[in-house]
Amino acid sequence: MTTETVRENPPSTIIAAFFGFLVSTVSAIAGGLLILNSRDEIAAALRRANPAMAQDQLDRLTLLGQVIPVAIAAVVALVYLWLAFKLKAGRNWARVTLTVFTLLQAASLLTTEPSWAGYVSCGVAVVATVLSYLSPSSRFIAAVRRAG
C-alpha cells in the first residue's frame, strides 16, 4: 500500500469507531447542556449549603455552577473530536488516548450521578474503542505507521 492509499482508505472498523466517537461526543454535549435546565436544583443546593448567602451571591454562584461544567464539556468535546479525526487518520497515540478517556468516562459513571446521555455516551465510546482495536483497525494503524 502506498502512503496515500493507506491514509485514504481506513477500514470499516476505523470508520465505525470514528462515527462512534462522534456520536459519543454529541451525546456527552447533550448531557452537558442538561445542566442548563438545572438552575433551580443548583440554587437549592447552594442555599442548603449556606442559608445565609445573599441573593446576588447565590445568583452568581448558580450561574457559575451552570457555565463552568458546560465550558469544560465544550473543551473536552473539542479534544475528543480532534482525537477521533486523528484515529481516522491512523494515529495509534489517538487510539490509546481515546481508550484512556473512555476508561475515565466509565469510571465517572461509578462516581457521579450521570444522566441518560452519560450512559449513552459511555456505551457508544466503549463500542468505538473495541472497534478501534479489531484486527482491520490494528492492521490499518500499523500500515500508516510504516508508511509514515
Beta strands in the chain (DSSP E): none
User: By the 8 A CB rule, do 30 and 117 touch?
Assistant: yes
Higher per-residue pLDDT: 3 or 35: 35
pLDDT exceeds cutoff 80 at 6: no
Quote the pLDDT of residue 61.
92
Quote the pLDDT of residue 90.
96
pLDDT single digits (tens) 57-110: 999 999 998 888 888 888 989 999 999 999 999 999 999 999 999 999 999 889
pLDDT single digits (tens) 31-61: 777 778 888 888 999 999 989 989 999 999 9
31 burial class (0-12, 13-18, 19+ CB within 10 angstroms)?
A: buried
What is the chain's Cα-based Rg?
20
pLDDT exceeds cutoff 60 at 10: yes
Can you tell me whether residue 124 is helix, strand or coil? helix
Quote the pLDDT of residue 38.
84
pTM: 0.80
pLDDT single digits (tens) 100-143: 999 999 998 898 887 788 888 899 999 999 999 999 999 999 99
Helices 116-133 and 135-147, interaxial angle, to 10°?
60
Which is nearest to 105 in space by CA: 30, 28, 45?
Answer: 28
Higher per-residue pLDDT: 49 or 4: 49
Helices 55-88 and 12-34, interaxial angle, to 10°?
180
Cell of 60: 452568581
Cell of 100: 484512556
